[in-house]
Amino acid sequence: MLRNDLPASFVVFLVAVPLSLGIAAACGAPLIAGLIAAVVGGILGGALSGAPLQVSGPAAGLIVIVAGLIGQFGWAATAAITACAGAVQVLLGLSRAGRLALSLSPAVVHGMLAGVGVVIVVGQLHVVLGGTPTGSVIENLWELPTQLVDHHTGSLLVGAVTIAVMLLWPNLPRLSVVPAPMAAVAVGTALAAALRLDVASVDLPADLVNQVVLPRLPQAPLSAVIGGVLTVAVVASVESLLSAVAVDKLHDGPRANLDRELVAQGAANLVSGALGGLPVAGVIVRSSTNVSVGARTRASTILHGLWLLVAVTMLAGLLDMIPLATLAGVLVVIGARLVDVQHMKRLRRHREMLVYCATVLGVIGFGLVEGVLIGLAVAMLRALYRLTHSTVEVIRRDGGDWLVNVRGSLVFLGVGRLVRALRALPTGERVVLELHVDFMDHGVFEAISDWISGYERRDGRVRVDEVFDSWYHRAVSGRPLARKTVRTIMPRWFAPWTHWQNSAEYDGADDGGLPAPRHPDDPLLTGVRAFQRHSAELVRPFLADLAENGQRPDQLFITCSDSRVIPNMITSSGPGDQFCVRNIGNLVPRHAVPSDASVGAAVEFAVDVLGVREIVVCGHSDCGAMRAVVDSSARPGSALHAWLRHAEESVLRLNRAPDRNPELPPNERLCLANVTQQLENLLSYPTVRSGVEAGRLRLTGLYFDISTAKVYLVDPDHATLSEVGADQ
């Protein structure tokens, strides 16, 4: 990994030098304090870090805070406050407070990155043009046209060449083994030296070591000191965690351990303050540079700290040759890449651009932490809107009644829209209020209840139909739910018509005056309408694919016509999975039996045309057909009597082993023997026998116990049952 981390660390080192010196100068602290913080943040912070690719050092977001502390307490006391803030951060990390940063919206994180990118580009363009950026992005933007007019030709030339190398270098395959930023710095420095251009360069003071000031306890009220400690700890922690989350978005390596990262930042601040350094935080500019130049492990971060230490003590003269315009050109490209157009497109598809733009503008206009807080506020408002937003659809049905379809979460913030839709309904009509809701608070319940009372006083009739959960009816009965319902798709067919149509919301006693369905066709038509409203949209994609590409079921499923046996339910299968044959007694007449060819036709079609890989014969408990065989209750000469003659072989099989499964009553023993016999009958079909012998077709016997809702495998050799458990 050193092949990637070594050059990456040098590029980050070059970026860190001017930033560390500039931040120290902006705070009013000794310049050496910035370099101490960078060295400690790189070596100690990198070694302990939970976010290996994050680079720690003095942070621009702390400039105003540190400058205020220096003005209030002096520099030596500020260093002591920094050390104490580090101890607080360690305690926060050990208490696992770091993971709270994972709750950040991705739109906020990407907006923060983009905002930082804009800040970098605008500020560093001034340096490329030979000027000096101010601390305010707005001021930098305002002064940029003037800077363009009054540009410094030498700096512009060096900066433009550096940017060109940054952009073109990755397209040179043979040279791309050298990171583009390193090549750009080398070319820019060589160009300035060769042409002897008069450009500003890195300026390290010769007596840096003598500027070290060790910490001293503040001579001030304890409350003021504690306030300063907590301010540094909280702001440095927030900035570090935000940066760590953002850096995770830039690479595909291991994700950050935020609690460990918080401990690492605290340890670095503790040591930095003790040595007279600035507060340390994870910084997005150096971290994004580290990722973009190819770093793979924490070695890059640690090495960049070592280069800083060596440079301070031994290589100050060499670093003084690097033009500031070259470093600025590198940062301009890195900053521009943080504004990721692809992320913007994805956020736009997910309707998160408002949060993104609010964060970007907040970072640009007010600062990193402030911008993130603005983005979080907008994200929370958006989430609140989505959680409280419901859709209301009013439909006049063919029968003349009205359907009011309500979907979403119903809270008092959105009750106005629902009430307006209900009040717009004509009086004296029949209304079905269909609620597809996962939450209803008391305010909405009161509003609906009041509207129903008023509507029915004007000769209207209202029925409340709840699809996902009984929020309204539970509240009516004095048992309101307290938590949001977890939405699960529970189709109507899971329970019989009589169960859901004759429940409290459908019976005549509690339905607002609407009569329960009485006509024999009503259950069918009501069920079809329920399918169209609730299930059709869910299955439409699957059915459309099956309609276009044809059916390719894996199984031929032969079972009884008994209404209590639902093949798709007991096998958890869906459209296109099973080719199903149902008849009285799940019988399979032997091949070439002239009295019935329908089952044989289905078997041959399934095997020869559809290419099924399994044929299942499923019997069940309490089978009326087997009872009729045992009791000889089928009327002679009837179609049923003629059909049940195909079960005679099952009776003979049972009589050959009358003591088998003695715990079962005669009817159930015949049901089990019948499954085994039908599997044998299937082998009388040449196409089935050849498929089984070739290993491309499997025969399976199942037995469904209706009363216990358990499914068993049937052993055809011994006519025994083995339960198919949930863990199998």
Q: What is the DSSP letter of 663?
A: T
Give residue for tokens 């315009």: 325
Residue 116 lies in a domain: yes
Mean pLDDT of 276-301: 87
CA neighbor of 704 nearest in space, from 666, 675, 665: 675
- The Cα 159–Cα 120 span in angstroms is 14
Q: Structural domain tally of the chain?
A: 3
Same domain for 501 and 649, yes or no, is no
Task: Note the pLDDT tens digit of each residue in 600-659.
Answer: 999 999 999 999 999 999 999 999 999 898 888 888 889 999 899 999 999 998 888 777
Asked whether 238 and 62 are in contact (CB, 8 A), the reply is no
Domain membership flag for residue 384: no
- Nearest one of 333, 317, 21 to 166, comparing CA atoms: 333
In this prediction, residue 56 has a pLDDT band, given cuts at 50, 70 and 90, of: very high
Distance, CA of 351 to CA of 99 (rounded, Å):
26
Q: How far apart, in Å, are the Cα atoms of 691 and each of 274, 401, 687, 700?
A: 82, 57, 6, 14
Residue 383 covered by a domain: no
Confirm whether 545 is domain-assigned: no
Cα distances (angstroms) measured from residue 441 to each of 479, 576, 690: 13, 42, 64
- Note whether 674 and 619 are within 8 A (CB): yes
Residues 6+ away with beta carbon under 8 Å from 11: 179, 181, 182, 185, 289, 293, 330
For residues 112 and 165, membership in a common domain is answered with yes
pLDDT(352) > 80: yes
574 and 476 in one domain? no
Mark which of 482, 505, 533 sits at the end of a domain: 533
Q: HSE of 576 in the Cβ direction (CA atoms, 13 Å)?
A: 14
Per-residue confidence (pLDDT) for residue 119, from 0 to 100: 82
Q: How far apart, in Å, do the first and last CA atoms of the chain sit?
A: 45
Better-scored residue on pLDDT, 181 or 601: 601
Q: Return the higher-pLDDT residue of 327 and 691.
A: 691
Q: What is the pLDDT of residue 612?
A: 94
Q: Which of 533, 560, 590 is the last residue of a domain?
A: 533
Instruction: Answer whether residue 42 is part of any domain.
Output: yes
pLDDT of residue 507: 39
Q: Which pLDDT value is given to residue 514? A: 42
Alpha helices, DSSP H only, in 338-470? 341-349, 353-365, 368-388, 415-423, 442-457
Rounded to 5 degrees, what are φ and ψ at 318? -70, -40
596 and 450, same structural domain?
Answer: no
325-334, 391-400, 509-518: lowest mean pLDDT where?
Answer: 509-518
User: Residue 382: inside a domain, yes or no?
Assistant: no
Burial of 533 (0-12, 13-18, 19+ CB in 10 A): middle
pLDDT score recorded for residue 682: 94
In the chain, the percentage of residues whose pLDDT exceeds 70 is: 87
How high does pLDDT run on average in the chain? Answer: 83
Say yes or no: 38 and 108 in one domain. yes
pLDDT for 101 equals 63
Residue 539 resides in a domain:
no
- Residue 431 to residue 51: CA distance in whole angstroms: 59
Q: In which element (H, E) is residue 712 found?
A: strand 710-715
Domain that holds residue 421: 389-533
Helices (H), 195-282: 222-248, 258-274
Query: pTM to 2 decimals?
Result: 0.55
